[in-house]
Amino acid sequence: MQRRKATLKLYPNAAQSARLEAWTRLHCELYNAALEERIDAWRKARKSISYNDQQNALPEIKAARPEFVELGSHALQQTLRRLDLAFQSFFRRVKARQTPGFPRFKAAKRFSGFAYPDPSGWKLMQHGGRGATLRLGSGDAAMSIRARGRHRFGADAKPNDITLTRRNGHWFVSVTLRVPDAACARERTADLRRGVDFGVNDWATFDDGQTIANPRWLRTELPKLAALQRQRARKKKGSVRYKRLSQCVARLHDRIGNLRRDFVHQETTRMVRQCAVLATEQLAPKNMSRSAKGTVEAPGRRVRQKAGLNREILSAAFGMAHQMLAYKAEEAGTRLHLSNTRQIKPSQRCSACWELVPKTLAERMHVCPHCGHAMPRDRNSALVVLIDAHNTPGTGVAARPKPLPRQRGKSRSVTRETPATTPCV
């Protein structure tokens, strides 16, 4: 039994929307009150209050504030658990000597929503196709909200918990499903072995020379986004028109994000369906998109150019692609190999003789001075990670016929092993 998430869009009427907003404000009030209690207890008595202490006080809160009753005990407990998780993360970062980030009070308009941690207090009814109904509460106080969306796991998937979120004036419900292993499996249509290099010019380049164009979702919408932001800058902050334009900007960003997510889903699904072995390199988009500003003592160079490159790197969503490939490859029985970028250096290594050939980012052709091998840079990188997948011990893939020079110092890269279950073909 595995767990998967599916997100459905809710279509509440005016009364239901107002009620959801009121419930969210109450959850926000409980969160802030629990945070204040913890802070005051420590400041005044040096006493730490745990989640269990605050959970045990819920019956008294509901007796004094009857409006909390219809929210449900389990949903209220989940809000307190959310605060406790924030404190656990804070102490973990303190011990690791990272930036702590103490839990903060939240404004009602920025409180994203609330959750039901188990099947109590709600029911999701699918009506075939993409139609569904979400029922919250019980008895006469229950409300049924229309929903739209579906998942691919069939009737065997059982809802386990839900999270209701508010985004740009719209409501969504994220459902955690308990799915049998057989229902998670993806059908694979081919048994290809492919190396892929993700980039900015082309979103993906394969070892055989095929490419996937980069749609550049953000760059396409930049003129419209800039126009909206200029209009908003001329309005008085906090005015009705300022808020209206802020909503337009948020909706545009939401649209770009939806287009990006849909594209990455389609392309990663196509990859794992066609490949028995899929090799790529480990990427760290956070490090790749680091600012070039530098410090006052050592200011950076070409800061504006690096800022534009960072925007394109983040827009290409390499991190999202790797996350999707990880779980989809497991479902399809595809072996996903991630080469160690720092040690293998796919963009600097020759795929023919395995020698390092330093290149600047502007050089788009790989020309090896040692063996004369010439090839587009991205395709050469894809070949390097594919060779690394073939020669890394434990991958279960046929090795290269002849040993490679300098292969002795090559690091072992990460390989996600194929599940024990036989994939569907």
- DSSP states of 153-181 as a string? SGGG-EEEEEEEEEETTEEEEEEEEEE-H
Q: Is the pLDDT of residue 17 over 50?
A: yes
User: What are 372's two structure tokens?
Assistant: 């004369």
pLDDT score of 422: 41
Closest CA to 383 of 189, 202, 210, 203: 210
pLDDT at position 86 over 60: yes
List the helix and strand counts (H, then E) for the chain.
12, 15
Element (H, E) at 251: helix 240-274
Q: In what order do the strands lie in the sheet with 275-281?
A: 211-213, 202-206, 192-198, 275-281, 335-339, 414-416
Per-residue pLDDT band at 396 (split at 50, 70, 90):
very low
Question: Where does residue 406 fall: left (phi above 0), alpha (psi -120 to 50 degrees), or beta otherwise?
Answer: left
The pLDDT value recorded for residue 425 is 34
pLDDT of residue 411: 44
Task: Give mean pLDDT, residues 110-123.
Answer: 92
Instruction: Compute the average pLDDT of residues 67-79.
Output: 94
272 burial type by CB count under 10 A (0-12 exposed, 13-18 middle, 19+ buried) = buried
Query: In angstroms, rounded to a whole number, what is the distance separating the alpha carbons of residues 356 and 123?
Result: 59
Residue 156: predicted pLDDT: 84
pLDDT number for residue 392: 66
Predicted pLDDT at 413: 53
Beta bridge partners of 346: none
pLDDT at residue 296 is higher than 80 = no
Are 133 and 157 in contact, with CB atoms under 8 Å apart?
no
CB-CB contact of 411 with 365 (8 Å) = no
Which has more confidence, 19 or 156?
19
pLDDT at 285: 87
Confidence class for position 380, pLDDT limits 50, 70, 90: very high
% of the chain with per-residue pLDDT over 70 = 92
The whole-number pLDDT of residue 398 equals 31
Average pLDDT over residues 246-270: 95
CB of 135 closer than 8 Å to CB of 55: no
CA dist 191 and 204 (Å) reads 19
Which residues, in sequence order, are bridge partners of residue 175? 6, 162
Please check the confidence at residue 139 and state whether its pLDDT lies above 90. no
Cα maximum dimension of the chain: 81
Q: Is the pLDDT of residue 405 over 60?
A: no
Q: Which two tokens stand for residue 277?
A: 């072995």
283: helix, strand or coil: coil
pLDDT at residue 126 in the model: 84
Q: Which two tokens stand for residue 358?
A: 């330093």
pLDDT score of 407 more than 90: no
* Residue 75 near residue 114, CB atoms below 8 Å: yes
Which residues lie below 8 Å from residue 130, measured CB to CB, with a gap of 6+? Answer: 148, 149, 150
3-state secondary structure of 280: strand
Whether the CB-CB separation of 133 and 147 falls below 8 Å is answered with: yes
Average pLDDT, the chain: 88
pTM of the full predicted structure?
0.83
Mean pLDDT of 226-246: 96
What whole-number distance in Å separates Cα of residue 194 and Cα of residue 202? 16
- How far apart are alpha carbons 173 and 14 in whole angstroms? 18
Tens-place pLDDT, residues 358-376: 999 889 999 999 889 999 9
- The pLDDT-based confidence of 140 (bands split at 50, 70, 90) is confident
